[in-house]
Structure 1
């Protein structure tokens, strides 16, 4: 049974149930038919006995026939007894005569002679309330049994035919119902790990199987989204780590190409250390974005604390460039809907970008705006050309007003900041400004 498929198991189960029902119906039909034939035989016997009794006369306690015995009466198996003596009756085997005699003495009732397959019925002949004799009628049961046997054979053949038709119908119906499952199985077997957009496409859900297909499609959507997320993360890792790694390799090769002064080696090592820190920040930001996109529980943080920590992280660069960073607001405590380190990693690259290109001052202001908290970062540097307001968020791209000789600008900070902000339902934008650059960082309320 376990080796059979679902279609085979359902066919067998329904076939067994149908066989039990048909067997019960066939047995009931044949039992009812035999009972009906038995009753019909008894009615015929009673009618014959009554008809024979009507032809008898009783005089002086003796029974005699009012009519001369005819060949039809003899063939009709009618026995007439006066007292215990048979005065009329057909011949027959000894077993039958013995049964007739015993039944005649009992005056009334039924009896059967299995040897001749004959059923007997006796009626008493009364004379003023006293039994003067008996009339015994007999009938052969062979026609009735032949009818019952034929009916049994016919009902068995009919039940078998019906059972076969039921099993064929069940197999056809179940096969049609499971055909979509077989089709989905074949589609799933034919799909590959690269076929992330494959769907079963069973149409609008209207029954159990189409709802199952729709559920599978939703599951495949989630799996495809997860797979694309992993692929995007891998691509971004390879793309965004290439620049700092290439810079580290290039700086190392330049330092080793010829003998240098200790100060030159120190400068090269400082450059390598800065690129390594940039590489570390890139990795941390990408991992934080991946965690945020994976629907992991988010924490909360104080907006002022996040702003001050981001400013503190950029203080070495600000001191090196002679830039003053000022943090203002908010007037009341505001809670971000992200962890402190996530908020800091979103703000720090934008703030670092402002410190790198500002002349003297950078301002970081936090305000509440509707359902989000906004951080406005402005500087007094060359600003961003309106044509570059979106291009600068592409990995490796920098604004046209920025010097191409900038040794530390890799064009990764702003793209990573936007990626992480959007992962937590926020955003990073470059706004138009009359003087310097102006960036707006939005994060959800906690």
Structure 2
């Protein structure tokens, strides 16, 4: 199940790291741009207030009180007074300054009576009002109001912020690309190991990763896995050798037992117990044959088999005990990538189990999928308890009196052989009818 964040960020480690790096970098860049914008706004306000203060001070130095006690600009400095400064007397009358135009009259008039230094922002202009004391024959108070457009400052600030945002986008994209490239290069040995492992067969005991380049953690991991594979290969070879040796050692006394039983059966009158001994010996011999086939197949056989031919040979040698065994597999149509003897040894215990439990009929069929071929064995017997769907594949398991003479290894060996060939054995239907499926890789 794909999680929402996996759909958003991507499922690969490279994509997740790249997107996460981009997200973190974007947050940092946005925070930086916000901080820079805040600082620029503060500096701009300070710069405007400083300019307004300089104009007010320059105008204040030009103020005089004439002989009549009225405020006036010194004649020698009148031309130097800034045309964006208005001078008001103590009664709020306009003494000097440019004409008040629409949009400026209201804010300037509202500041004419300021008793402390006051700032005001209206539209795109900032105003500063400062009361000053003018000395003369009679000291008096004047209020000076200066104005400055903030639009050029804001335009400069906006250009700076837009440039920072563009730079931030470039940094985010560059950081994401760099992190993706770095992670991809770092994970290159992992991709190589994955590709190698995907090409290996479970019976390929000699292939190794052989990461000799570099000395990073992935190289150490590859070397550790190679050492582990060496130990596993050694253990598998020992198991194969032991299985083969035990099978050969058991075959000799079993052959002798069968021979003695054959001689006993030839006596007159014939003793049915010798017939039973022969059947049990044949069953043990079949198990030994399965073990030998399993050991040989682990060496890496790549033969193919036609299930129709294998089933024909198997049923011809199988005691049916009066049960009708039907093969419903078209010849040459379903080929499996496994040696014929391995297919026979995987199906034989399942088929023997079906014959012993069937009432009248056993049907052998085949089903195919994209990558596998399944051989189905169906009988009309009493079925299997659904609670024992997996338990029946455990060694030594017996549930009916018909199984009392066996060792309970048939289905266990069948599954083990099928798994060794790259397939499996499973119970498809527990009753009405009972169906087992032995699945192999498709050729």
TM-score, scaled relative to structure 1: 0.53
The equivalences for 1:178-327 within 5 A come to: 178-203=187-212, 206-249=215-258, 255=263
Distance in 1 (CA, whole Å) between partners of 2:106 and 2:115 is: 15
| Partner Cα distance (1:94, 1:204) in 2 | 79
Aligned ranges 1:384-423 → 2 under 5 Å: none
Change (3 A) 1:101 1:108: farther
The Cα shift of 1:156 comes to 0.8
Q: What is the alpha-carbon root mean square deviation over aligned residues?
A: 3.5
> Which residue of structure 1 lines up, in the alignment, with residue 333 of structure 2?
none
1:35 to 38, 42, 53: 42
> 8 Å contact 1:125–1:135 — kept in the other structure?
no
Shift of 1:90: 1.5
Output aligned runs, 1:36-75, within 5 Å: 36-59=43-66, 61-67=69-75, 73=81, 75=83
Partner in structure 1 of residue 13 of structure 2: 6
Q: Distance in 2 between matches of 1:175 and 1:123?
A: 69
User: Are the equivalent residues in 2 in contact too, given 1:95–1:113 (CA < 8 A)?
Assistant: no
* 2:108 pairs with 1:100: yes
TM-score, normalised via structure 2 length: 0.53
For the 8 Å contact 1:96–1:113, the answer to whether it is kept is no
Q: Distance in 2 between the 1:192 and 1:37 partners?
A: 72
Q: 1:153 to 1:71 in 2, by over 3 A?
A: farther
Indicate how the Cα distance of structure 1 residues 109 and 47 shifts in structure 2: closer, same or farther if over 3 A, else same: same
**Structure 1: gaps spanning 5 or more residues:** 262-268, 284-446
2:119 alignment partner in structure 1: 111
Q: 1:116 to 1:252 in 2, by over 3 A?
A: closer
The answer as to whether partners of 1:96 and 1:116 remain within 8 angstroms in 2 is: no
Q: 1:216 to 1:9 in 2, by over 3 A?
A: same
Shift, 1:78, TM fit: 1.1
Q: After superposition, give the CA deviation of every residue in 1:285-321 in whole Å (9 maximum; x if it has no partner).
A: xxxxxxxxxxxxxxxxxxxxxxxxxxxxxxxxxxxxx
User: Aligned match of 1:126 in 128, 134, 145?
Assistant: 134
Aligned twin of 1:165: 174
Instruction: Report the 3-state secondary structure (helix = DSSP H, G, I; strand = E; otherwise coil) of the residue aligned with 1:106.
Output: coil
Deviations 1:200-227 (A, max 9, x none): 2223884332232233223322322222
- Offset at 1:69? 8.1
SS of alignment partner, residue 112 of structure 2 = helix
Match of 2:97 among 82, 86, 89: 89
Counterpart among 16, 20, 36 of residue 23 in structure 2: 16
Runs of 4+ in structure 1 over 6 Å off: 68-72
- How far 1:145 moved relative to its partner? 0.6
Match of residue 290 from structure 1? none
**8 Å Cα contact 1:64/1:82 also seen in 2:** no
Residue in 2 that maps onto 1:387 = none
Q: Which moved more, 1:136-145 or 1:85-94?
A: 85-94
The answer as to whether partners of 2:133 and 2:142 remain within 8 angstroms in 1 is yes
Larger radius of gyration: 1
